[in-house]
A = this chain, B = another copy of it.
Amino acid sequence: MRLAYRGAPFHGWQCQPGEVTVQSVIEAALSTVMRRDMKIVGAGRTDTGVNARMMVAHFDVDSPLTDPARLVRNLNAIVGKDIAIEEIYEVEPDKHARFDATSRTYHYYAVTSKSPFFYPLSWKAPEGLDFGKMNEAAAILLETADFTSFAKLHTDAKTNICRVTKARWERVGDDGWVFVITADRFLRNMVRAVVGTLVEVGRGKMSVSQFAEVIAKRDRCAAGTSMPGHALYLWEVTY
């Protein structure tokens, strides 16, 4: 299934006891509609408050669905306004939403002016951020393999190696910017830590060469603070 969700109402993607998560809401809806206990596997996990413009998840059924469009409608009637199930389609039995994904793209939205309409969906950037310098620093990410400096401490990730193929701030309209980052995989909290450190560069508190040193140190404490999650979007998953 391909779906979208607003992150604010949820305690992230992954099921957790006692918390409302995107996965738990969808699994409950799917179990209701299909009249048996259903589990789904997502392409990745998003943290509390983080949005998805496009998430992909799979689930197993014993026989092909007779009417996937109807299942989409039935699920949308149950999951609430903050989740949109967009499409459900059959794939080969050995396909896996997480393991078969070849890349993920995240967007981080910043607005430079006060906006009554977009503040719940983007980050209000301070005046005078140097996006040119931020892009100089972002280019270094393309030549980086080890992202330990942007990894959350004490996770169960076996390696901190990622291959970033795009990392760039682009203009959106007159008052907006979006940081677009694509990689084969992301570590937990990685995009928000990367953006937070780039913002230090943009504020003039860190030079581009110091940004390179932060990466070389392989130490999370060297990087900038993590950015708020409400402006972050899982934008695309490719297979």
- A76–B114 alpha-carbon span in the complex (Å): 8
- Report the minimal beta-carbon distance from A106 to chain B, rounded to whole angstroms: 15
Q: 8 Å CB contacts to B: which residues of A1-59? A: 4-6, 51, 53
Is A117 close to B, CB under 8 A? yes
Is A205 close to B, CB under 8 A? no
Is A84 close to B, CB under 8 A? yes
Contact of A115 among B84, B113, B114, B116 (CB under 8 A): B84
Q: Return the chain B residue nearest A80 by Cβ.
A: B116
Q: Return the chain B residue nearest A84 by Cβ.
A: B114
Chain B residues, CB < 8 A from A117: 4, 6, 51, 53, 121
- Report the minimal beta-carbon distance from A159 to chain B, rounded to whole angstroms: 33
Chain B residues, CB < 8 A from A130: none
Is A82 close to B, CB under 8 A? yes
Q: Return the chain B residue nearest A82 by Cβ.
A: B116
Chain B residues, CB < 8 A from A84: 113-116
Q: 8 Å CB contacts to B: which residues of A67-87? A: 76, 81-84, 86
Chain B residues, CB < 8 A from A82: 116
Is A89 close to B, CB under 8 A? no
Kindly supply a per-residue 1/0 record for chain A positions 105-143, scoring 1 wherever the CB is within 8 Å of any chain B CB and 0 otherwise.
000000001111101010000000000000000000000
Q: What are 21 residue pairs bridging A and B, where the CB atoms are less than 8 Å apart in the complex?
A: A4-B115, A4-B116, A4-B117, A5-B116, A6-B116, A6-B117, A51-B116, A51-B117, A53-B117, A76-B114, A81-B114, A81-B116, A81-B119, A82-B116, A83-B116, A84-B113, A84-B114, A84-B115, A84-B116, A86-B113, A117-B121
- Apart from A4-B116, A81-B114, A84-B116, what 18 extra A-B contacts exist at CB < 8 Å? A4-B115, A4-B117, A5-B116, A6-B116, A6-B117, A51-B116, A51-B117, A53-B117, A76-B114, A81-B116, A81-B119, A82-B116, A83-B116, A84-B113, A84-B114, A84-B115, A86-B113, A117-B121
Q: Which residues of chain A have a CB within 8 Å of any CB of chain B?
A: 4-6, 51, 53, 76, 81-84, 86, 113-117, 119, 121
